[in-house]
C-alpha cells in the first residue's frame, strides 16, 4: 500500500457520494461503486458536496472514479459500505471474490446487525461496524448536502492505519475509533426511531420535530427501547447535546420550550427528510426491520414485548405495500397508544 490508501465506497448513493466527494476534495484516492444510472449521471454532471457549515466543493469525476463494476474493490485498501440494510447480503456476495485478504470493510449503515451479517460473507476481511450520525440529502441530481452535526465513528482496529485516519481528518470528516460499537449503534438507533415517524408524517424533519404530537410518538418509541436496553445491560453513549436517556423527556416538552432548549436539534436543513421517507417515495424496501424491528427482536430475546415499535413496523409495512398516507401527529399518537 502506498501513502495514499485507496478507499472504495461500495453502494454510493446519498451517504457514499457525499463521503466520496469530501474525500476527493482532500486529495484522497477514492473510487465509488454504484448503479449504472449514477455512473451515467456523473458522466455528464459534476459531483457537488456541501454542508451546513459552508463547505461547498464541486468536481467533474474522471473516468473510473464512479463505476458500476463491483470488481473495482480489487484495488481497495479500505472499503466503506454504504448500501441500505436490505442490500447488505448482495453487496457482500459481490465484493467477496475481488477483495484482497485482510482489507478492512466498514459498514457505515444504520441499524445494529449489518457488520454481523456481512462477516460470514467476507471471511477473509476485517469487517468493522461504523456509524454516520449526520443527515445527507440529495438536493438536486449529483448534489449531496450534509445538514446536521456529528462525527463519523468506527470500531477500533489496527487495520485502520494512520494514513487512512489522516485522510478522513484532512477531508474535514474525522473518523473516531470506538471500543464499544454496540453502544454507539444502539444510541444511533434511538435517534433513527424517528425515521418511520418522519416517513409517515410526510414532512421535512424540521417541520415534523417542531410538532409536539410527533415528538411524543418518538418519545414513546425511545422510552420503550431504553427500558429494553437497560434490561439487556446495553449502555448508551451521548450522540446529541444531551445523554440519550434524557431525550424522551426533551421530546415531550411543549413546543415553545422545546424550540428554546433544543435549538441544535432543530438546526436541520429545512428540506432534509429521513432516509426512510426517501425509500418510501422511491418505492424501495425500507430499513424498518433493521431499526424498529431490532427493538422488537430485543424484546423477544428478553421475553418482553415492544408494542410501540411493533406498531411502527406494521404501519411502515402498509406504506411499503402502497398505502402511503400522511399521518397527523395526533392520529399517529392515538394509534401508538392503541386508542
Ligand atoms: N441518508 C442519510 O441521511 C443517512 C443514511 N444513513 C444510512 O446509510 C446507509 C446508506 O444510506 P443512503 O446513502 O441514504 O442510501 P442510498 O439508497 O441513497 O444509497 C445506496 C446506494 O447503493 C446502491 N446499491 C445498492 N446495492 C448495490 C450494489 N449491490 N451494487 C452497487 N450499488 C448498490 C443503491 O442503488 P438502488 O437504490 O438502485 O438499490 C443506492 O444508489 C443506510 O443504512 C442509511 O440508513 C445513515 C445516516 C444518514
Ligand atoms: C441522520 C438521520 C438520523 C436523519 O434522519 C438518519 O440517520 C437517517 O435519515 O437515516
Each residue's pLDDT tens digit, 238-285: 998 899 999 999 999 999 999 998 887 888 888 889 999 999 999 999
Q: Which domains does the chain have, with CATH numbers?
A: 6-179 (3.40.50.720), 184-336 (1.10.1040.10)
CA–centroid distance, residue 17 to ligand 1 (Å): 10
Is residue 134 lining ligand 2, measured as CB closer than 6 Å? yes
User: Residues lining ligand 1, CB < 6 A?
Assistant: 11, 13-16, 33-35, 38, 82-85, 87, 90-91, 94, 109-110, 132, 135-136, 275, 284, 287
The answer, yes or no, to whether residue 287 has pLDDT greater than 60, is yes
Question: What's the confidence (pLDDT) of residue 1?
Answer: 46
Calpha distance 333→197 (Å, rounded) = 10
* pLDDT tens, position by position, 203-221: 999 999 999 999 999 999 9
* pLDDT tens, position by position, 88-106: 999 999 999 999 999 999 9
Atom number, ligand 2, closest to the C-alpha of residue 278 = 9
**Whose CA is closest to atom 9 on ligand 1?**
109
β-bridge pairing 6-10 and 29-33: parallel
- Cα-based distances in Å from 324 to 155, 194, 280, 283: 37, 17, 8, 10
The reported pTM is 0.96
- Cα-based distances in Å from 22 to 26, 55, 62: 7, 9, 15
From 109, 134, 149, 190, the mutation candidate for ligand 2 (largest count of ligand atoms within 8 A of CB) is 134
All 3 cell numbers of residue 176? 473516531
Give the whole-number percent of the chain exceeding pLDDT 90: 91
Question: Mean pLDDT throughout 103-118?
Answer: 98
Amino acid at each position: 500500500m502506498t501513502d495514499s490508501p485507496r478507499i472504495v465506497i461500495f453502494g454510493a448513493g446519498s451517504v457514499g457520494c457525499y463521503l466520496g466527494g469530501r474525500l476527493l476534495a482532500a486529495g484522497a484516492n477514492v473510487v465509488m461503486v454504484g448503479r449504472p444510472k449514477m455512473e451515467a449521471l456523473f458522466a455528464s454532471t459534476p459531483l457537488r458536496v456541501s454542508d451546513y457549515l459552508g463547505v461547498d466543493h464541486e468536481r467533474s469525476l474522471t473516468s473510473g472514479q464512479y463505476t458500476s463494476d463491483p470488481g473495482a474493490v480489487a484495488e481497495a485498501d479500505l472499503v466503506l459500505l454504504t448500501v441500505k440494510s436490505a442490500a447488505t447480503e448482495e453487496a457482500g456476495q459481490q465484493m467477496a471474490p475481488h477483495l484482497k485478504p485482510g482489507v478492512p470493510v466498514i459498514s457505515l449503515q444504520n441499524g445494529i446487525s449489518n457488520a454481523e451479517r456481512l462477516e460470514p460473507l467476507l471471511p477473509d476481511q476485517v469487517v468493522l461496524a461504523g456509524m454516520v450520525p449526520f443527515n445527507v440529502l440529495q438536493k438536486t441530481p449529483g448534489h449531496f448536502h450534509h445538514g446536521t452535526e456529528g462525527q463519523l465513528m468506527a470500531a477500533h482496529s489496527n487495520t485502520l492505519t494512520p494514513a487512512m485516519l489522516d485522510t478522513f481528518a484532512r477531508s474535514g470528516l474525522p473518523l473516531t475509533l470506538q471500543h464499544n460499537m454496540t453502544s454507539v449503534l444502539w444510541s444511533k438507533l434511538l435517534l433513527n426511531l424517528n425515521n418511520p415517524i418522519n416517513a409517515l408524517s410526510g414532512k421535512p424533519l424540521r417541520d415534523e420535530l417542531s410538532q409536539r404530537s410527533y415528538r411524543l410518538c418518538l418519545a414513546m418509541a425511545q422510552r420503550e427501547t431504553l427500558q429494553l436496553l437497560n434490561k439487556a445491560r446495553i449502555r448508551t453513549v451521548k450522540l446529541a447535546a444531551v445523554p440519550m436517556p434524557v431525550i424522551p423527556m426533551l421530546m415531550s416538552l411543549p413546543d415553545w420550550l422545546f424550540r428554546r432548549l433544543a435549538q441544535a436539534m432543530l438546526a436541520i436543513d429545512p428540506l432534509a427528510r429521513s432516509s426512510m421517507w426517501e425509500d418510501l417515495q422511491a418505492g424501495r424496501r425500507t430499513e424498518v426491520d433493521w431499526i424498529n424491528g431490532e427493538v422488537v427482536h430485543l424484546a423477544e430475546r428478553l421475553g418482553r414485548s415492544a408494542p410501540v415499535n411493533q406498531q411502527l413496523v406494521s404501519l411502515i409495512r402498509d406504506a411499503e405495500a402502497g398505502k402511503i398516507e400522511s399521518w397527523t401527529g395526533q392520529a399517529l399518537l392515538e394509534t401508538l397508544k392503541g386508542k
